């Protein structure tokens, strides 16, 4: 969804639900509107229909807020998915690294440049064609400390001997760096399933 990504919020996470388009909120508003319409039909009193119209208007406003404002959590999730999309064959490492901090470091790459080299090597060695993200969850997000942590699972599609895909679990640390926003600073990768207990790569 296209959003106004130039607008960032520094408020508490407790208000994020106002901007994240949760299905449960839409269901609650729809149920309330339906109940009010039923009451209006049974009592033939206009005030119930007026109240139902007000609830529908609230749902519209909630939808508008969802499109107009991108929360920190939504931005981090978007950037994780953008990095995965950049690895789909033919890989676009420039698109991936747009979301990586110049201060990046991790056990297998001590700089952003080293990460590019490592990614290029792994793509070629294992004939990686796609990375599929699932179970993406953002933990603590702090604008004050300019840091955030996200965890997710990924299925790396390629040629890994007898395996056609490598399941991994990732812990990603992000830095907040205006005007780019949240950028990947650290990445820990662990194998899952047949790769359980193996640090990757």
Q: Are residues 93 and 162 in the same domain?
A: yes
Total number of domains constituting the chain: 2
Residue 24, domain extent: 20-68
Q: Are residues 94 and 127 in the same domain?
A: yes
Residue 89 DSSP class: S
Q: Are residues 128 and 60 in the same domain?
A: no
Handedness of CA 96, 124, 120, 167 (dihedral sign): positive
10 within domain boundaries: no
* pLDDT tens for each residue of 155-195: 999 998 888 899 999 999 999 999 999 999 999 999 988 77
* pLDDT tens for each residue of 86-134: 999 999 999 999 999 999 999 999 999 999 999 999 999 999 999 999 9
Question: H or E segment at 60?
Answer: helix 46-68
Question: CATH number of the domain that 136 lies in?
Answer: 3.10.450.50
3 within domain boundaries: no
Do 77 and 136 contact (CB within 8 A), yes or no?
A: yes
């Amino acid at each position: 969804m296209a959003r106004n990504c130039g607008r960032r919020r520094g408020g508490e996470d407790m208000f994020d639900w106002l901007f994240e388009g949760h299905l449960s909120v839409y269901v609650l508003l729809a149920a309330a509107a339906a109940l009010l319409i039923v009451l209006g039909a049974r009592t033939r009193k206009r005030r119930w229909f007026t109240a139902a119209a007000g609830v529908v208007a609230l749902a519209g406003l909630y939808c508008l807020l969802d499109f107009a404002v991108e929360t920190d959590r939504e931005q981090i999730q978007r950037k994780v998915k953008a990095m995965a999309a950049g690895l789909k064959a033919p890989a676009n490492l420039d698109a991936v690294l747009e979301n990586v901090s110049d201060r990046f470091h991790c056990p297998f790459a001590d700089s952003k440049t080293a990460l590019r080299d490592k990614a290029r090597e792994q793509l070629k060695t294992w004939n990686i064609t796609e990375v599929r993200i699932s179970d993406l969850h953002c933990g603590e997000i702090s604008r004050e400390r300019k840091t955030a942590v996200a965890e997710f699972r990924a299925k790396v599609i390629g040629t890994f001997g007898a395996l056609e895909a490598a399941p991994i679990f990732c812990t990603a640390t992000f830095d907040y760096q205006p005007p780019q926003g949240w950028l990947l600073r650290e990445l820990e990768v662990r194998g899952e399933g047949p790769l359980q207990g193996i640090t990757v790569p």
